[in-house]
Structure 1
Amino acid sequence: MTKQLFPLALGGLGIGTTEFVIMGLLPDIANDINITIPVAGHLISSYAFGVVIGAPILVALSAKFPAKNILIAFMLLFTIFNFLSTIAPDYYTLMLSRFLSGLPHGAFFGVGTVVAAKLAKEGKAAQAIASMFTGLAIANLAMVPLVTYIGHHFHWRYAFGIVSLIGILTILFLYKWLPKQKALRTVTFKEELEFFKTIKAWHILMIVAIGFGGLFAWFSYIAPLLIYVSKFEVGSVSYLMIVAGAGMVVGNILGGYLADKKNPVIVSIFLLFSMVTALILVFFFSEFKVISIILTFICGALAMSIGSPINMIMLSSAKHSAMLGAAFLQAAFNVANSLGSFFGGIPLFLGFEYNYPSLIGAAMALVGAILCLVFLKKYKG
């Protein structure tokens, strides 16, 4: 990773921490504010909804400004709104603060994706994008387990205070190390929107929203899965999240490498079918602790590996709408987050065990893989 890309990765670290740490703290939050775990899961959906709303709107409003200024502004909003979660007095206020925290998430990654690709060496665009998402992967390897531990043993509110501190550091490094660039928009906003009048654009977004949603059906409820099905101690969850994080680091590197070497569409198909298989195995074998740990690593790897290939598909398809396309893609990832959390929660509301969300996830990933196959046939990759 270059010095220039480091601030983007650091921003990814903060975003990844706030997005994923809440999943490991669901039981703590539910107990503290007197709600059930499935209801607490709506906090995940609230954040994801904020991303969906914020990504295209913030990019549309800010694209005429220099990229460096835009990214600093987005991270400032991110920092302020995450701090609000530390002082939210009740469930509904916390829901609102989570929604607001999500607003700059997709916009930051959308602009950051285009910036990273422009800073990349020839033929290394996917790996440069993966470098930005390294922060997201490391969040799950180190920060999420650490902050989960702090949140569980002290108070869950400290988690969002730590995220706010990362946001402040990101602002400082963006200011110091990110090169100045001209405004990224090369056409009018109306011309950018033309791409999103095509079936191809929405086909890509549907692959992500449904296919990647399968992964979130599993990950949204990973803490209760490990506690109630795999029978790990509650205090072990923070350590087990390190396993998922290690998988994400490996998957992020692998996805970037494969997307630069092979057709990104074919890579995405392979990864989605792998996700189907892994989630089915989670359903059948999570009661065995050793197998559960292995599957946690594998699913973590698959969670991050698809990021770079699908971003390359969008950037090559969107062309002059690349920045807005990348922002919409982040919105789609968080629609996936919301759909996965929602549909994964249905069997829990019906009284089934915590391994059933992974079965829902496998079905969603299968639909995503089929959509990807259709995309390959229709658009020749």
Structure 2
Amino acid sequence: MNLSTNQVPLSRKKEIFPLSLLCLTVGAFAIGMTEFIIMGLLPNVANDLHVTIPQAGQLITSYALGVAVGAPVLTVLTHRIPQKKLLMLLMCIFIAGNAFSVVAPNYYLLIAARVLTAFAHGTFLGVGSLIAARLVRPERRASAVSMVLAGLTVSNIIGVPFGTFIGQQLGWRASFGAITVLGILSLIGIVRFIPEIRQDRPSSLSQEFRSLVNPQVLLVLLTGALACGSLFSVFTYITPMLMSISGFAEHSVTWILVLFGFGVTIGNIVGGKLADWKLMPSLMVNFAVLAVILILLTLTFPNPYLAVISVFCWGVAAFGVMPGIQIRIMNLSHEAPLLSATSSHSASNLGNAGGAYLGGLAITYTGLTSLPWLAAALAVLGLVGVMISYGVERKVTMNTRVSIHR
């Protein structure tokens, strides 16, 4: 991949690249808001549209399914569109979906608007990650990807609470209006600051599928799903855990979750830097640390002070693996990375749903205190996946060297 003939002098690239990455981060920030903001507005939406809370909860489920299905489908349909134009198209879909959410007159049309918005989610983050990696030096690729993904994490610290406040004060439709404005700002930034990226030889659909079904790529996708499953098996039920096990009042949980959000953001940034340094070793260490921290949660949660510290550390470790997973997928499918990169977000959302489901089963049969053990087991399975992937790669490398020497 090369920049188009409208290249900028090297002295100006330092000014333009951070700003272009920021445009992608703003887009990811808006996407994070639209995914999670509905959680804080469920009662408002349910009352306004005259549905039950469980029915309103389907707005979350439909979005997750839209991401899981939409990312690969939309990628297949648009894989020949130049990446900057594709990014602009995806943001237009995102803006349209949120604008339709503002005016949706009933429950079913709101679900349709949510699914439309979700279709842009995974493909935007996948394409955005590919572009971010090409805007920086090769040794800074993981850090660039983590900067884009930081938009998702920061949205949970700032965007979701602020958007929820707007929705509670001005009505839930106002929250989606604010997200629409953010989408427009991101689109303007993409048009103005993202450079044209020319593909010397656009990958065919068959190449994209071959990259996706590469056993190594499928293994890393599974590993990413396990990481997300580990996270959401606990995070989905973190409020009742902090209230019933640690003894916190409901209003205190909000601030603990904000602290968790800071941990997630720090982990995402540090994970990107570690992946730039030593990708596979850092992933293995991170998964191992994550499993240990989750096991320690069983000991620390009964103590309120230790619970707060461990929740923060858990956030750092949980998201420390995410940039490395994305870069690993991009490295393995470098000749045709688009479908694989976008499918990683489908796998992540399936992991989110699977983790929440398994967590619910664990609560039903063994109680809240068993959730950290479940999450630790999923993290250990993720560690095994990384170790297998690393071992296979080393074996192939050694065999190649032996054949060359022969």
TM-score (norm 2): 0.82
Question: Secondary structure of the equivalent of 1:320?
Answer: coil
Distance in 2 of aligned mates of 1:224 and 1:153: 26
> In the TM superposition, what is the alpha-carbon distance from 1:88 to its structure 2 partner?
5.6
Q: Which residue of 2 aligns with 1:129?
A: 145
Task: Name 2:381's counterpart in structure 1.
Answer: 367
Q: Which residue of 2 aligns with 1:65?
A: 81
Amino acid aligned to 1:35: I
Correspondence for 1:376: 390
Alignment-derived partner of residue 209 in structure 1:
225
Paired residues of 2:42 and 2:53 also in contact (CA < 8 A): no
Task: State the one-letter code of the partner of 1:374.
Answer: I
Change in Cα spacing, 1:90 to 1:27, as seen in structure 2 (3 Å) is: same
**Equivalent of 1:342 in 349, 354, 357:** 357
Contact (CA 8 Å) 2:20, 2:189: kept in 1 or not?
no
> Once structures 1 and 2 are overlaid, which stretch shifts more, 149-158 or 279-288?
149-158
Aligned residue identity for 2:190: L
Q: What does the per-residue CA deviation read over 1:246-299, in whole Å, with 9 as the maximum and x for residues that have no partner?
A: 11221111111101111x222222222222222333344334332232222122
1:328 paired with 2:343, answer: yes
Structure 1 CA distance for aligned equivalents of residues 244 and 98 of structure 2 = 30
Q: TM-score, normalised by structure 1?
A: 0.87
Structure 2 unaligned spans of 5+: 1-16, 396-406
The one-letter amino acid paired with 1:360 is: L
Secondary structure in 2 aligned to 1:14? helix
C-alpha displacement of 1:83: 4.0
Deviations 1:211-267 (A, max 9, x none): 3211122222334434444443433444333212211221111111101111x2222
Do structure 1's residue 15 and structure 2's residue 31 form an aligned pair? yes
Map 1:237-256 to 2 at 5 A.
Answer: 237-256=253-272
For residues 115-167 of structure 1, the C-alpha deviation after alignment (integer angstroms, 9 at most, x for no partner) is 11111124111111112122122212322233344456765554433322221
Matches within 5 A, 1:1-381: 2-23=18-39, 33-35=51-53, 43-86=59-102, 95-151=111-167, 156-182=172-198, 186-262=202-278, 264-348=279-363, 350=364, 354-380=368-394
Pair member with larger Rg: 2
Relative to structure 1, is the Cα distance of residues 107 and 211 closer, same or farther in structure 2, using a 3 angstrom cutoff?
A: same
Residue 85 of structure 1 deviates from its aligned partner by 4.2
Give the letter for the 1:324 counterpart: L
Residue type of the partner of 1:335?
A: L
Distance 1:352 1:197 in 2: 37
Tell me the number of residue pairs that the alignment of Structure 1 and Structure 2 aligns: 377
- State the AA in 2 paired with 1:68: K
CA contact (8 A) 1:12 1:132 kept: yes
Cα separation, 1, equivalents of 2:102 and 2:211: 40
What letter corresponds to residue 198 of structure 2 in structure 1? K
Flag the 1:332–1:146 CA change in 2: closer, same or farther, 3 A.
Answer: same
Shift of 1:316: 1.3
Secondary structure of 1:120's partner? coil
Percent identity of equivalent pairs:
32
CA RMSD of aligned residues (A): 2.9
The whole-number CA distance in structure 2 between the counterparts of 1:278 and 1:30 is 37
Q: Larger deviation: 337-346 or 356-365?
A: 356-365
